Structure 1
């Protein structure tokens, strides 16, 4: 018996030890779960309990080169409803329907959904501040307001065909908003509400805030003041000439920075549903392709000078009004011809046979090679949405007739941005730069994420050739077809273009795209402006010289003060022809006495304002170009 008792006692000890180890293991496990894994398990539990009310972080702004906001955000809350916290949905519908100005029955259907959290959209999405205030005052149980934003455009329709717009869910759908949607979009913040399975609030677990990140800001190379000038001029051209469409592009030829870009007709990005998709999906300066006409002659001129096959001032050419090339009669725009002229006058007069002769001297292969070197036939690399590459003749199909027509801008199809890129190289010293419009991308924390710089592709012509091209094009504005772009004190160079529209490989009678490309100062260009007007009407004379040259001249004149362009006293004097308006710079009368002013016998018609002896202000301002018989306003004071 004693032996049996000892044996039982030993077993009991083993059991006690096992229980001790088991208890210790439980204590260790409890410690690990309660202390070590506390945060992890709490978050897993909260994930089963939480219901998030989104607080949308602001989408990144889009600004001009000086940080001026072009696109920003406006607060527009969105409503959410938790049915478990308020079963009286009939009363809720009665209260909300008048404020949201929506159908009560449709709203009631949404409120009655068997869901933990219902987003009241579209009725309660992006409501106004006034609506949000009225809803808040009602203190409806189970109704929550999430922070949301809609895009705000301080300058209205300005740049709309470049910028694009956002849709219902604040996602970019067109333009820069679409192309850079990931950059502009932030991560939403949220209030985390903790509820049980029935949706009742868990009082022991306080609500939490989950912090998101705002979107990045995109800084454009555009100057908003210059953009306003460009869009005003295009708008006026559309009305004056009853045109189908119009476009403009301004660039710094030394860097490739796009300073202004515009397409008309335009649209309201907050109401884009009212316009045809072709308007907001086509940024004309990069999308539209057409025969360039005489603006393309700048490329032929540059190649001819670089190859040293012409002498602008000391060599002559006779234009009889046409040239025969392999049996084809290629006419000049002036039917009777320009007669005997120097090659500089060929450029001034935009004489087609003269440029055909230049192309012939260059040779077909070399001319085509220069065209490719200047960037035609391929996209510019601007990364602007919808950019086309244009159409050129193949090397095999570039015969004598094709070479001759190409020399004066007919038979090829190019985009405006290709022309601007190429002419910039012709006048900036010979370097081809990639056009670009995104200057910087700045994160929500203020850190610069992207900082774009000018990209030089290649040297196309020499500095010496470029200088001769600039001089010749300045002479076009002073003495030739571009005279309506002339502005006293500003050295402007440029070239007109008039191209017949093509449809189904046939030229359309009476329908033209007229254009002008101009730059200033001619000796050291800081701005290059291209304007094209599609199918202008309401005038008997439709040419680039009469329609678009004055527009470019006006844009450059106003750009002078915006970009601080220098005025010069050594510009080429303008050759006046019969019918030209004679203009001069407005003198500075401020500080002069009225009697002294009258003694100078100006031809202006003066309107006096105020009382006193001295002139204290004037309109137009000093330096602005005015007609000799224009009305000026002088303001008197003491």
Structure 2
């Protein structure tokens, strides 16, 4: 007779099964926690552990406000600034094809529309779940973000790049392929778009935040600002020069992720916050820079030059307010410039040299006056064709653009731009002293300008074999010497500053992420070139160039304008051409109290009237137009004498 449902046999069988299960579980636990523990922990840590980089934000490059009056402290506190370069937060969007769910497929069209990607391309990326294991691919796994750019030009890197990456610890299948764990969909997703993408809740689609460099003013001051390339490297301009301050320091955090690849914040173990880069404040004023670039556009449209440069600065401090070149380029699309046209990226104001022509005559004039060998009233016969040099040898004199039948005073040599007069002044100095003054004015060496691959220029020493019998008579008129536009600008600045050669400056301040000033730059005097009295005399002589000489088209009514024209023939195949010229006007105003210096250099202009592109007809009018705008913008007032009239006498030079 049965004793019930739970017979002794069944009870024993159940007990054995339970005990066996616990024994199996125990054995498994021993394997997991004792025998295979180290290997399993290593695998789990690889799968769950992660180090996430926190990119630092690159500092901004901003402009400052040019001020014609006031001390440096007042100028530094003027915060009317404009951002020239900044960093935008962007998302690199990718997908883990292994994590995709079938039920999310209906959301794919919405995602494709949000990121501007054809649906067929999106589906191709989503459905490609493995990749062949190759030497190139394995090497790329070490850094999946940089591998996206490997083997591509920067122009190609602008396009969507569907790079697929695998995890090194994923097994390789029988076909020699490894599962794809990340494939890039887009590298330029905005924060707002990424918010909408996250709302779609497509598992496996995620993004990594990066900062992209952008230039709000496009081509404005492009040759000065420089750019950051696609690899995040500062490539040129202030971006490169001040990279130490701008780049900041990336942070990172170490933690764990769950099965969906999401960070588990409570398991975060270590964290280092990023340190954002410092901001760099330039002396460039966007309004003044815009004036210069607008004038260059006008020059390009009317004269069709090969290239042209305009420099505007504070002659009392050496700070550059504008440096513009034609042709130019857009900083936001630099990577799309064909190699054949990349010359437009050269900062020709400092990277190209030219024979300055008659603007260089300020060296012989200043040197002779400074040494006391002449006065402004000393006269020279400029009709002669040869003269004895300081070595007692007869030297031929250069030709003149105009015939002078009467002796010219030193003041007239300046105003009428006499080549023979300048040569005789240099001979009065002697070759060595003349060379020393040219060197003192900054020729033959870099100015110290920090950006633009600056050239030294060429200034031949009297001790050099290249100094021949004609050099002493040709160099004073600006031949047999090569200079950059900035060297010529700073040389004229010697006269405007009162005799000192200043270092050109472009950076005013360095500020930390909170806006506090870390370092402030001030004027740097390289050395004294001429006396203050000589500088004053030269200012009056250079006024005569504008009042009654070759620079009359630079005159601004009721303002003392001082400057010098330059018109030099270009060397074409080793021969000076009568059809190709570099025309220039370099000057400042007001002459007695200089507040702004302007240089206009136009290479190979094609003037509308006549074949001769002189500095007086090509560059001087641009100087005037810029000067009139700057008078209004900087609120520059005329300088008046005690009698209440302007120091500029309309009939001649006031002495």
The question of whether the paired residues in 2 share the 8 Å contact of 1:75 and 1:147 is answered with yes
Tell me the residue number matched to 1:265. Answer: 327
Deviation at 1:276, TM superposition (A): 4.9
Deviation at 1:487, TM superposition (A): 0.7
1:349 aligns with 2:411: no
Structure 2: how far apart are the matches of 1:393 and 1:472? 27
Structure 1: how far apart are the matches of 2:215 and 2:333? 12
Tell me the residue number matched to 2:117. Answer: 101
Tell me the residue number matched to 1:551. Answer: 622
Structure 2: how far apart are the matches of 1:502 and 1:425? 28
For 1:330-368, what per-residue CA distance to the aligned partner results, in whole angstroms no more than 9, with x for missing partners? 433425346433221111000101111101111111001
Structure 2: how far apart are the matches of 1:405 and 1:355? 9
For 1:123-145, what per-residue CA distance to the aligned partner results, in whole angstroms no more than 9, with x for missing partners? 41122456435423322213223
Structure 1: how far apart are the matches of 2:624 and 2:292? 11
- CA 1:542–1:338: 2 relative to 1, 3 Å: farther
2:194 to 108, 125, 132: 132
For 1:175-230, what per-residue CA distance to the aligned partner results, in whole angstroms no more than 9, with x for missing partners? 2212222321123456766226x775586945687531211101111122111111
Structure 2: how far apart are the matches of 1:551 and 1:136? 56
SS at match of 1:502: strand
Count of residues in correspondence between the two structures: 530
Tell me the residue number matched to 1:231. Answer: 293
What are the within-5 Å matches in structure 2 for residues 442-453 of structure 1? 442-453=511-522
- CA 1:526–1:118: 2 relative to 1, 3 Å: farther
1:563 aligns with 2:634: yes
Tell me the residue number matched to 1:594. Answer: none
The question of whether the paired residues in 1 share the 8 Å contact of 2:54 and 2:273 is answered with no
- CA RMSD of the aligned region, Å? 3.0
1:76 to 90, 108, 113: 90
For 1:44-98, what per-residue CA distance to the aligned partner results, in whole angstroms no more than 9, with x for missing partners? x989844355554332111112432122233322214345644669948766445
Structure 1: how far apart are the matches of 2:266 and 2:335? 46
- CA 1:362–1:94: 2 relative to 1, 3 Å: same
- CA 1:341–1:203: 2 relative to 1, 3 Å: closer
SS at match of 1:405: helix
- CA 1:526–1:327: 2 relative to 1, 3 Å: same
Tell me the residue number matched to 1:176. Answer: 238
Tell me the residue number matched to 2:648. Answer: 572
- Relative to structure 2, which stretch is displaced further, 397-406 or 318-327? 318-327
TM-score, length of structure 2 as denominator length: 0.74
The question of whether the paired residues in 2 share the 8 Å contact of 1:164 and 1:280 is answered with no
- CA 1:542–1:280: 2 relative to 1, 3 Å: closer
Runs of 5+ unmatched residues, structure 1: 1-44, 577-638
TM-score, length of structure 1 as denominator length: 0.76
1:61 aligns with 2:66: no
The question of whether the paired residues in 2 share the 8 Å contact of 1:291 and 1:413 is answered with yes
1:300 aligns with 2:364: yes
- CA 1:73–1:481: 2 relative to 1, 3 Å: same
- Relative to structure 2, which stretch is displaced further, 377-386 or 486-495? 377-386
Tell me the residue number matched to 1:361. Answer: 428
- Relative to structure 2, which stretch is displaced further, 459-468 or 420-429? 420-429
2:599 to 520, 530, 550: 530
1:114 aligns with 2:148: no
Tell me the residue number matched to 1:336. Answer: 403
1:253 to 292, 305, 315: 315
1:456 to 522, 525, 539: 525
Structure 2: how far apart are the matches of 1:343 and 1:487? 24
Higher relative contact order (CA 8 A, sep 6+): 2
For 1:226-262, what per-residue CA distance to the aligned partner results, in whole angstroms no more than 9, with x for missing partners? 1111111111101110111111111222211111111
Tell me the residue number matched to 1:379. Answer: 446
Tell me the residue number matched to 1:153. Answer: 215
Structure 2: how far apart are the matches of 1:144 and 1:393? 64
Tell me the residue number matched to 1:36. Answer: none
Runs of 5+ unmatched residues, structure 2: 1-43, 66-80, 129-161, 169-179, 640-644
- CA 1:301–1:50: 2 relative to 1, 3 Å: farther
Tell me the residue number matched to 1:629. Answer: none
- CA 1:202–1:424: 2 relative to 1, 3 Å: closer
- Relative to structure 2, which stretch is displaced further, 375-384 or 135-144? 135-144
- CA 1:285–1:204: 2 relative to 1, 3 Å: closer
- Relative to structure 2, which stretch is displaced further, 378-387 or 287-296? 378-387
Tell me the residue number matched to 1:5. Answer: none
Structure 2: how far apart are the matches of 1:161 and 1:230? 13
